[in-house]
Amino acid sequence: MRWNRYVLPVTAIQIIHEIEALPAEEQRVVLNSLQERLEAKSVAGEVRYADFDQAVRVADRIFTERAELFQKLAQ
């Protein structure tokens, strides 16, 4: 393949079609890599806050799942 110094714009849908045309194993490699990059970018580049209801649900789950630990810490 010969590279040219001129690059044509590619749309997201064109990229998706290219990925879909890959063999299944190569699709997994591409998608896993993309997922890792998105997760790293999300963690590194943004601070997310839970609203009150989310915080209450998470706290309830943590205290329920770790009740024994919290009892030991309270002693």
The whole model's pTM is what?
0.45
pLDDT (0 to 100) of residue 11: 87
- Tell me what pLDDT residue 67 has: 87
The ranges assigned to domains in the chain are 12-74
Per-residue pLDDT of the chain (75 residues; tens, 9 = 90+): 555 566 667 888 999 999 999 999 999 999 999 988 887 776 666 667 778 988 899 998 998 888 888 888 888
pLDDT attached to residue 46 = 67
DSSP code string of 23-67: -HHHHHHHHHHHHHHHHHHHHHH------HHHHHHHHHHHHHHTH
d(CA 17, CA 15): 5
